[in-house]
Amino acid sequence: MNAIAPVGISPSAFLDRGDVKGNAARLKAADYLRTVGLPRAGVEAWKYTSLRALADVPFADAPRDVDTGAVDTLLAEVESISGLGAGANRAVFVNGRFDAGRSRLPQGVKVAAFDPAAEPRDGIDPAGDVTTALNTVLAHDGLALIVPAGVDAGCLLLVSIGLAGEDMPVSFHPQHRIVVEEGGRLAVLDAAVGRGYYLHNPLYDITVEEGGYLSHARIQAEGKKALHLAVSHARVASRGVYDSFTLTLGASLSRHEVHAGLNAAGASVHVNGAQLLAGHQHGDLTSVITHAAPDCISRQTVKNVLADHARGVFQGKIHVERIAQKTDGYQMNQALLLSDTAEIDAKPELEIYADDVKCSHGATVGALDDDQLFYLRSRGIPNEAARSILIRAFLHDVVDQIDDARLKDGLNLAVEAWWKREVA
Find out whether 116 and 140 touch, Cβ atoms under 8 Å: yes
The pLDDT assigned to 16 comes to 53
The pLDDT assigned to 5 comes to 41
The answer for residues whose C-beta is within 8 angstroms of residue 18's C-beta and 6 or more apart is: none
The pLDDT assigned to 19 comes to 61
The pLDDT assigned to 7 comes to 42
With a cut of 50, say whether residue 4 has pLDDT above it: no
User: Alpha-carbon distance 163 to 272, whole Å?
Assistant: 29
Predicted confidence (pLDDT) per residue in 98-156, tens digit:
999 999 999 889 998 888 777 777 678 888 888 999 899 888 899 999 999 999 999 99
Lowest mean pLDDT among 309-318, 353-362, 382-391: 382-391
Find out whether 372 and 388 touch, Cβ atoms under 8 Å: no
The pLDDT assigned to 235 comes to 97
424 or 242, which is more confident: 242
Q: Residue range 269-276: average pLDDT?
A: 96
The answer for residues whose C-beta is within 8 angstroms of residue 390's C-beta and 6 or more apart is: 368, 369, 372, 373, 376
The pLDDT assigned to 21 comes to 57
Find out whether 158 and 185 touch, Cβ atoms under 8 Å: no
Amino acid at position 72, single letter? D
Helix, strand or coil for residue 167? coil
With a cut of 70, say whether residue 9 has pLDDT above it: no
Among residues 319, 324, 329, 322, the alpha carbon closest in space to that of 299 is found at 329
The pLDDT assigned to 166 comes to 86
Lowest mean pLDDT among 22-31, 90-99, 283-292, 394-403: 22-31
With a cut of 90, say whether residue 1 has pLDDT above it: no
168 or 320, which is more confident: 320
The pLDDT assigned to 10 comes to 39
With a cut of 90, say whether residue 304 has pLDDT above it: yes
pLDDT band at 199 (very low <50, low <70, confident <90, very high): very high
User: Alpha-carbon distance 335 to 365, whole Å?
Assistant: 5
Predicted confidence (pLDDT) per residue in 200-241, tens digit:
999 999 999 999 999 999 999 999 999 999 999 999 999 999
pLDDT band at 39 (very low <50, low <70, confident <90, very high): confident
Predicted confidence (pLDDT) per residue in 366-414, tens digit:
999 999 999 999 999 998 889 888 988 898 888 888 888 888 888 888 8
| Phi/psi of residue 45, nearest 5 degrees | -65, -20
Residue 122, phi-psi category: left (phi > 0), alpha (psi -120 to 50), beta (remainder):
beta
The pLDDT assigned to 6 comes to 39
Q: Residue range 352-371: average pLDDT?
A: 94
The pLDDT assigned to 37 comes to 78
Find out whether 95 and 135 touch, Cβ atoms under 8 Å: no
Percentage of the chain lying above the pLDDT 70 cut: 94
The pLDDT assigned to 41 comes to 66
How would DSSP label each residue in 78-133? HHHHHSS-TTS-EEEEETTEE-GGG-BPPTT-EEE---TTPPPPTT--TTSSHHHH
With a cut of 90, say whether residue 261 has pLDDT above it: yes
With a cut of 90, say whether residue 96 has pLDDT above it: yes
The pLDDT assigned to 423 comes to 65
The pLDDT assigned to 56 comes to 75
User: Alpha-carbon distance 243 to 405, whole Å?
Assistant: 13
The pLDDT assigned to 412 comes to 86
Among residues 273, 351, 350, 279, the alpha carbon closest in space to that of 314 is found at 273
| Phi/psi of residue 305, nearest 5 degrees | -120, 115
Averaged pLDDT of the chain: 90
Exposed/middle/buried for 358, CB within 10 Å: 0-12, 13-18, 19+? exposed
Exposed/middle/buried for 140, CB within 10 Å: 0-12, 13-18, 19+? middle
Q: What is the pTM of this model?
A: 0.93
The pLDDT assigned to 58 comes to 82
Look up residue 260 and give its DSSP letter: E
| Phi/psi of residue 423, nearest 5 degrees | -120, -45
The answer for residues whose C-beta is within 8 angstroms of residue 25's C-beta and 6 or more apart is: 119, 120, 126, 136
pLDDT band at 3 (very low <50, low <70, confident <90, very high): very low
Lowest mean pLDDT among 42-51, 256-265, 339-348: 42-51
Amino acid at position 32, single letter? Y
With a cut of 50, say whether residue 313 has pLDDT above it: yes
With a cut of 50, say whether residue 2 has pLDDT above it: no
